[in-house]
Structure 1
């Protein structure tokens, strides 16, 4: 029988792209399609920004994709955050030095059936993450999920399993005209929706305030539990309409995949309620604070299942392995910020005395440090919390950069500097970048991330080219601040 018209017939088996575990998960996913009468499967590929790109496929074509993959435009690799082309797309190698990208042909997306979900907020609809390959079967080197998978494997090769948990802040706002979109003179909708604060006032960790948005909280709660996300808590934060969600730890790629599904769920469910959810770090609205994404992480010894960060020394909060992991994070912190904080807006969060870090520090149970140690001697839950991230970060790059830097500290047996004192904002320590352009310079100045065992020179050059394109567009715009500052004065 001829294969349905998606992808390339027999592509998956020809190149051995699904593991036995994934093949078994594929059979289970087809059973779920039949059991729930699914008509659509959203096949999601996460781009270089961490944004989900997608094709809505029929259920029959999803089944075919397990054998043949689906074709997907490679041109998305050449788009910055507003779909501006930033490289010479029709140069040899797509302007990126990758022969397979010459002419920007289609990529082949292969579903990872272990990520298959039935979406409770969409009618008879499934959801699955995919990995990108060229038609010769080689992984697309700019696919960030591939990059994280490689770092997870590096950890395994060193005898560790990587464990991480999410703590994410975001804002919910009320759309002033739900369901109605006004077009501008070009015929396009405005880039910023007309919104107002979802809540008023500041009542941090207030039962009453959170109960005031109980309908939304329950919808989010039910959706996350129904798709199998390990929800731990939902709480209100300082800003009006600012929420924080935390999840129990997951292994390997788990937290990154969960972050993609979580952000999509929140935005879609809020949209259905006439609301707007944003993971932008610092919205330019009155009395709004920054949102952060704190990454909780540890290593587990593969041979024993023991937490490698637990200290048996009463004078140390972390084991020697944990201390070396932290030393690696600190060693590469400035270059890492492009991966943890990839937007121009995110650097407005790094302010002194803001509960966000402003310099490269660490300490036990200190929320002003960059790396906060939670736990202590003999505590089996001991782990570290990297407080660098913004909620808009690409989760695969965020986790991969942490694993790589931490493993580097372990391999080189690095020692961290002395822990920060009570006031980390006055510590004598390197300052974090204060802008995206400074962060890109720091990335290019640290050869570690460009090494073949981490992201590779090509990917770092690609990311820097993309970010410099975004920076150039930002610096060429006249801002409201400039108009207020100079228009009348001069």
Structure 2
């Protein structure tokens, strides 16, 4: 920072629910931040109780990057809770990755993060999927430029199915860096949208009758330079067992993949969101699918349940734990499904509510251990409060349906 004459740095960290929290420090505090850490209030962001509110945040210097914020050159760094790491989602994922690194394994993840652009409270356009006369093309180009200034490598962008819905894809990476990039992506998209007089939302289902926004994740497991999911003629046994673990833990995983009350308005038949616990090749109606691939570099498993409100650190930790449990126990995922599962009546389904998903997660020791019992308990407290708050409110549908019942 001194060499580049950068005077200030944005320090960011993930709260338990996966929202990026930030503050700005002057350059003369950077050394303290990356060595001993800086005290901040953790209770106001739901990390700690008010009577024990202070937490020590320590910057991860490997995440430092230069950014351009409104024409001003600044630093940016991700931080973790140094004095209570068992409450930190990012540390939790690093802990899980460090465990598999001991046996020379590396977890690689890519994410497709969908969002809506709004004018006021309505979709900003009426374009369709892959529209060639797309009203939001120039907006996505500006958003992509902002993301690139934040250090993300943009690979593909397009209009999604619903009016106002968009997708900008960035390059896959090792799991912690991808999780960092998801939070940075959401922050940058919201900020850039405001400068264009628009509003970006990552709400899973903001509008009835159209597709909701997902965050499909693509995963591969490497040993050295070898992709363990790849085999010459088909996906490997490791891949099938990993899928078996995802299916076996699917109901509990929903608590982390679909973590809001609104998430379950997205997971209904007919809108390209997964409902049935199943897997298949290229089958977009399945919960887990194997996309087309060409060689081991692109061989991967796609898990289609997550939405953008999930905490990526907790999501990746639990998905990895479920998949490794499948490998450890050699869980057979069953036969791949090639039919349209939205017409199925004989396949088990994902939970229909956040409360139901929480019940399954609380019975799943594999997922609880992946998150850590203290962090899991805190996460449950926050979600119980969210469920109770949602019950207090009367929706427009309830008024329409019941007022003259």
Q: Fold-level match, TM-score > 0.5? A: yes
Q: Indicate conservation of the 8 Å contact 1:40/1:125, yes or no.
A: yes
Q: Indicate conservation of the 8 Å contact 2:210/2:271, yes or no.
A: no
2:81 equivalent in structure 1:
132
CA drift of 1:231 comes to 1.2
1:42 equivalent in structure 2:
10
Distance of 1:62 and 1:157 partners within structure 2: 31
Q: How big is the alpha-carbon RMSD for the aligned residues of Structure 1 and Structure 2?
A: 2.0
Report whether the alignment pairs 1:117 with 2:65: yes
Report whether the alignment pairs 1:311 with 2:259: no
Q: Indicate conservation of the 8 Å contact 1:155/1:407, yes or no.
A: no
Report whether the alignment pairs 1:172 with 2:117: yes
1:229 to 152, 161, 173: 152
Report whether the alignment pairs 1:263 with 2:231: no
Q: Deviation string for 1:23-59 (max 9, x for gaps)? A: xxxxxxx35xx41x32321111110111111211112
What does residue range 25-424 of structure 1 map to in structure 2 within 5 Å? 30=1, 34-35=3-4, 37-76=5-44, 78=46, 89=49, 103-122=51-70, 123-134=72-83, 139-175=84-120, 195-200=121-126, 202-209=127-134, 212-284=135-207, 288-302=210-224, 305-312=225-232, 314=233, 317-375=234-292, 380-424=297-341
Structure possessing the higher radius of gyration over alpha carbons: 1
Helix, strand or coil: the match of 1:347? helix
Given the two structures, how large is their TM-score scaled by the length of structure 2? 0.94
Q: Indicate conservation of the 8 Å contact 2:215/2:304, yes or no.
A: yes
Helix, strand or coil: the match of 1:441? helix
Helix, strand or coil: the match of 1:238? coil
Q: 1:427 to 1:112 in 2, by over 3 A?
A: farther
Structure 2 stretches of 5 or more lacking a match? none
CA drift of 1:379 comes to 5.0
CA drift of 1:64 comes to 3.3
Given the two structures, how large is their TM-score scaled by the length of structure 1? 0.78
Distance of 2:69 and 2:45 partners within structure 1: 29
CA drift of 1:121 comes to 3.2
Aligned residues: 403
1:429 equivalent in structure 2:
347
CA drift of 1:143 comes to 0.6
Distance of 1:238 and 1:59 partners within structure 2: 45
Q: Deviation string for 1:412-440 (max 9, x for gaps)? A: 22221221231223163321011101111
Helix, strand or coil: the match of 2:308? coil
Q: 1:262 to 1:62 in 2, by over 3 A?
A: same
